[in-house]
Chain A
Amino acid sequence: MAVAEFDPPMQAFDVIVVGSGAAGLTAAWHARTQGASVLVINKGMAGRTGATITTGGGISIAGQTLQALGLPGDPDDSEEEFLADTLRAGQFLGDQSLVQSMVTGIGAEVERLVALKTPMRIMKRAPGHTSGRGVHISGPDIQRIQLQAAVDAGVRFLENFQSSGLLQDRDGRVVGITGLDRATGEVRSFAANAVVLATGGTTSNWSLRTAPEELTGDGHAMALQAGAELIEMEMLQFLPCCLVAPEMWRGLQFPWILGPQSGIRAWLLNKYGERFMARWDLERMELSTRDMVAFASANEVVEGRGSPNGGVCLSWAHLPRDILDNYFRISSNVSADWRWEGFDMTPLVDRIRAGHAIEVAPAAHFSIGGVRINSAGETAVPGLFVGGETAGGLHGSNRLSGNAGAQVLVQGKNAGVAAARFAEQHPTRAKPGNDAELTERLVGPLAQRDGAAPSETKRRLTQLAERALSPVRDGVSIKAALNELAEIAANDIPNLSTRQPERPWNRDWTDALECQATVHVLQAALISADARTASIGAHRRRDQAKISDAPLSHGLVRGTPDRLQHRFEPVAFSLVSPAA
C-alpha cells in the first residue's frame, strides 16, 4: 500500500538541536547567543522528557575553580587532580582531550547557572573523587532554568517530534533532519546548516533501568547511519541496588540511596545469606565502587545464588531501627514521612523495619559509550555535532559521580558554539540526496498491518540486551545475542506494522521507529562487547582467560547497519600516562 506524504516547504534554521535535556538546551542557548537561528526538536514535551529531570544533580568541578567563581571550594583541589581522578576511574581508557575540555570548561557553565540564579549547594562528599568537589542542582531545577534561558534567548521549539534520519547532500554533509510529528502524524523535514544531537543515552533499551522511556538511542542510530563513528559502545554504567519489584517501583534506586550511597552499612546477601561482597572488596564491602557492586550482584545471579526475581537481597536487619528513623536528618532526598520523588515509600520502609531484606539488582543507568566527538563536539560527518550522554569517549570504562552533570554542560556548550560557527561559515541550501530513502523507512510501518508487532519486537530487544549486555558478560551469550539480533533485523524490522491507520499519536508507529533505532544501537554494542575480550571497567567478561597485556585501545564502530565494522585504536596518553 502506498502512503501519500505531505510535502510542505522545508523551514530552515542555522542550527537544529535534537533533544531538550541539559545538553541540548545548553547547546541551543550558546548557538543562539552566537547569533544563529536555533530550533530545538524534542521527541516529547520540551523540559518534561529525557534523563536530566531524573538526575541526582551532582556537577563535578574542581575546588580551585569554585574559589575562582567566589564560591567555597577546597583550595587544594586543582583541575589537574580532577582530570587525574576522572582518568583513573575510567582506567585510562578516557579520551584525554575530552576530559581536559570538561575539567577546564565547567567553571564557565557553572558561572552561567549562578547568573541565572539557579538554586545550588556546594557538595562536601563526592564518591570516587579525591576531594568533595562539586555543586548540586536538582534535576527539575536545572531542567526548568535551562529551558527558560533558551526561551528567553529566542530559541524556537518543536515538540512531540520523533527525529528518525539526518538529511545529507551528495557529499555526505548534513543539511537537515526528517522525522514524524507525533501529534499530527505528518512526516516533516527541516533544513539546517548544522545539526546537534543531544538525544541522551541508550539505556531505555534495557528492561531494568533508572532511565526514562525515551532513551532508545535515536541520536546514535542517526549518527551511525550518517557515517559517524561510535566509541566504547559496550560500556554501560549500571546502578546497583535498584528495586526489581513490585512492577510500579521497578528500577527505582531508593534502596541504593537508603543504603550504600548514603554510607549506611546495609548488607548485600545472596540466597544463602552470604555477604558476597567479601569476595570482591573485603575492605569497602557494600561501599565499594558502583561498578564493582553491580558486577558482584549480577554475578551472584549468574552463578545461581540470586533471589527469586533475579536479584540479590539488601538487608538493614543487623542495624538498630534508629539508623533508619534518623535517615531524613542525613539526606535531603527523602522527607521524614518517607516521600521520595513521586512515591510514598512507607510500605517498603515498613518491610525493612520488620526485618525483611529487599530484593535489588543493578539497573541500566548511563551510557558511557556513544558517538565519537573531538573536544569541539565535531563528529566525522561535516555539519554534525554531538554533546552530552549521546557522545562517548569521555569517561573511558567507568564514570565518576557528578561527571555526567559536568559533561552535559560543557559538551552542550562546545557543540552549540561549534555548530553556530560552522553554520555561519558554511551555509548551504544543497538538496538532500537521501530524503526519499529516509521517508520510505519512516512510513514503512504505517503501510503494513499484519507484520511484526512493534511492542513485541521492543520486548524481545530489551530482553536480549538484558541477557547479553548485563554487568557480567561472556562470549557465548554475546554471540547468541548477535545471531538473534540478526534474525530480528532480517525478519521483524522490515515488517514492523501498525494495527490501525490513524496517523496522530499512533503508538505502534512510534514504537516501530524506536525499534529501528534500537536494533542498530544494540548491534554496535554487541559487536563492541564481542571484540573486547578482556575485562575493563564496566565491561566484565566471565570468560576472560587472563589479564590482557595488549595496549589500551578504544573500540570503534562505523558502517552501514547491515555491515558494521569494529576496529581498535590505541589510546593517546597526551596529558597523563597510566604509569605516572
Chain B
Amino acid sequence: MTTIQLRRAGSPKDEWETIDLPSPAEAGLTATSWNKVSVSAALAWIQRKTDPSLAFLLSCRRGLCDVCAVRIDGKVVTACTTPVRDGMRIEPTKDKLALAGTIIDISLVRRARI
C-alpha cells in the first residue's frame, strides 16, 4: 500500500490528511509501481476517484512552467517531475500564495491584471 500525506490551502500547519493510493493497475495506470508515476498523476487520480473538490494545476508536464509547484517533504519541486514515494508529505509551496488545494498564485502579470 502506498500512502501520501496532503495539506491543502487554508488548512492549519499540522493538519495532514492521509490518502491511501490503490495499486497503479487498480488506478488505471500502466505503471507497475507508483515510483514510476508523477505526483501530478496521483493528484489527478485523487480528484477523479475519491475527492472531486481537490484543486491542483498541471500544464507542461516536463518541469518548465512551474504551475504545478508544490512543497514535498519541505522542498519546493514541480509535481509533474517528482515521482510518488510512500509517506511523502505534499503541501502548497507558500501559505501566503495558496489559492485552493495545492494551487498557488505565481502570476507573472500581477500589476497588469484587471
Contacts and interface: CB of A to CB of B under 8 A. Distances in A.
Interface of A: 11, 39, 44-50, 53-54, 139-140, 144, 147, 151, 155-159, 183, 212-214, 245-248, 251-252, 309, 341-343, 453, 455, 498-500, 502, 504-508
Nearest to B77: A342
Q: Is the interface of B mostly helix, strand, loop or mixed?
A: loop
A54 B31 contact: no
Interface string B10-51: 000000000000001000011100001110010000011000
B49 to A, nearest CB: 9
Contact of B112 (A54, A156, A507): A156
Given A158-B114, A247-B29, A252-B62, A507 B67 contact: no
24 contacts: A11-B114, A44-B67, A45-B67, A45-B106, A46-B107, A48-B59, A48-B66, A48-B67, A48-B106, A48-B108, A53-B64, A151-B109, A157-B109, A158-B113, A159-B113, A212-B60, A214-B59, A245-B31, A246-B36, A247-B30, A248-B37, A341-B63, A507-B47, A507-B52
Nearest to B99: A183
Nearest to A46: B109
A499 B52 CA distance: 6
Given A54-B62, A246-B36, A45 B108 contact: yes
B20 to A, nearest CB: 19
Contacts of A499: 52
Contact of A212 (B36, B61, B78, B107): B61
Interface string B91-114: 000000001110100111101111
Interface of B: 24, 29-31, 36-38, 41, 47-48, 52-67, 78, 80-81, 83, 99-101, 103, 106-109, 111-114
Q: Which of A213, A453, A502 has the most CB of B within 10 A?
A: A213
A248 B67 contact: no
Contacts, number: 121
A252 B37 CA distance: 14
B8 to A, nearest CB: 11
A139 B55 CA distance: 27
B103 A505 contact: yes
B61 A251 contact: yes
B81 A342 contact: yes
Contacts of B113: 156-159
Contact of B65 (A53, A245, A252, A505): A53
A214 B37 CA distance: 21
A507 B55 contact: yes
A252 B83 CA distance: 16
Contacts of B83: 248
Contacts of B107: 45-46, 159
Contacts of B67: 44-45, 48-49
Contact of B64 (A140, A500, A504, A508): A140
B99 A247 contact: no
Contacts of A309: 30
B69 to A, nearest CB: 10
A180 to B, nearest CB: 14
A502 B58 CA distance: 20
B58 A213 contact: yes
Given A48-B106, A507-B55, A151 B112 contact: yes
A246 B24 CA distance: 12
Nearest to B108: A47
A342 B78 contact: yes
A156 B65 CA distance: 21
Given A53-B65, A248-B36, A505-B103, A343 B58 contact: no
B78 A498 contact: no
Contacts of B65: 48-49, 53, 212
A445 B40 CA distance: 25
Given A11-B114, A508-B52, 12 more contacts: A45-B106, A46-B109, A49-B60, A53-B64, A54-B62, A54-B64, A147-B108, A157-B112, A247-B24, A341-B63, A343-B63, A507-B47
